[in-house]
Each structure stands twice: as C-alpha cells, then as structure tokens.
Amino acid sequence: MSAQIQPHSHRHDAREYLATVERACRERGLRLTESRREILQLLAAQGRPAKAYDLLESLRQLHATAAPPTVYRALEFLLAHGFIHRLDSINAFVTCHHPEQAHQVPFLICDECNEAEELCDDGHMAALIAREAQRRGFAPRAQTLEVHGLCARCRARR
C-alpha cells in the first residue's frame, strides 16, 4: 500500500498561521519577539519561498534601519523551532504548514516560478531515509528532501 501524500501549497491565511505559531510558542515557553514576529509575518504574507535579503528589504519598509543580523537571527530561531523550512537549493525560506509539531518534509520546487509544495507523508519518506542512515552508521543532523521540476501551471503554459 502506498503512502497517502497530501500536497500543501504555501498559500495560506497569514493571520491564522501567525496565531498558530504564537500559540505554539506559548505552549513551549518560547519568546516570539517583535522582530521574530515581523519576519514571520513577512514570510507568511509572501505565500511562497523568500530569500533573507528579500525579507530584509520588506522589513526596511517598516523599519528603515533594519539590518541583516536582525533577519538572520529571527530566521535562525524560526528554523530551530520548526516554524519555517529552509530550501537550500534555492537559498530561500518557507512557512511550515504544521508549526505545532516537529517533522521532516519533502518539497516539490518549481524551477520556473519557484513555487514550493510541502508534501505531508506521515513520516514515511523521512523514516525510510532515517532507517537507511542508521543502517549505514550515519547520524543525520537535518533532513530536507527537495525535488525540482515544473509545477502543473508552468507545464501547462509550455
């Protein structure tokens, strides 16, 4: 029987997402500072992967003196606690659709429009990779599977 995979476009209600992250922070005893919240809000409003410097430019519209360390520290916190994901291959960040729970997810990334879909597979792919790593004596620290190609919309335009 194959795993039931459900795609998640990163277009979601930014307010609802922020409320979920705020609730998770309260439950975990984490401090969601104003700058962390602003970066998260900017990323959520994008609805698609965003680079750190794009977030910095957006933040500077709110605070003219905003500096790169502010963005990078906020992103580091948000990554560490599973509220966002980093897409290494395109050097960008996306919001997580399940910020209340720790998980590893694969992404489908369109090489033309840079849209990213988070695939939720109940841990099947992540578990397979973890088992194979363990079998080889490898101790993974992080895991993000990125699959590149063309999304249905870009394929239809061709």
CB 74 within 8 A of CB 36: yes
Q: What is the pLDDT along the chain (158 residues), one digit of tens a residue?
A: 333 333 444 445 788 889 999 999 999 999 999 999 999 999 999 888 999 999 999 999 999 999 999 999 999 999 989 899 899 999 999 988 776 666 667 889 999 998 888 877 666 777 788 889 899 999 876 667 889 999 999 999 98
- Residue 96 assigned to a binding site: no
How many Å apart are CA 43 and CA 9, to the nearest integer? 14
How many Å apart are CA 11 and CA 1, to the nearest integer? 30
Per-residue model confidence (pLDDT) at position 7: 41
Q: Work out whether strand 6-9 and strand 116-120 pair parallel, antiparallel, or are unpaired.
A: antiparallel
Q: For helices 52-62 and 68-80, what crossing angle results, to 10°?
A: 120
- Residue 25 assigned to a binding site: no
Per-residue model confidence (pLDDT) at position 15: 86
Per-residue model confidence (pLDDT) at position 101: 63
Name the nearest CA neighbour of 45 among 75, 86, 15, 21.
Answer: 15
Per-residue model confidence (pLDDT) at position 2: 35
- Residue 113 assigned to a binding site: yes
Per-residue model confidence (pLDDT) at position 66: 94
CB 23 within 8 A of CB 101: no
Q: Delineate the domains of the chain, giving CATH numbers in brackets.
A: 12-100 (1.10.10.10), 103-158 (3.30.1490.190)
CB 151 within 8 A of CB 108: yes
- Residue 120 assigned to a binding site: no
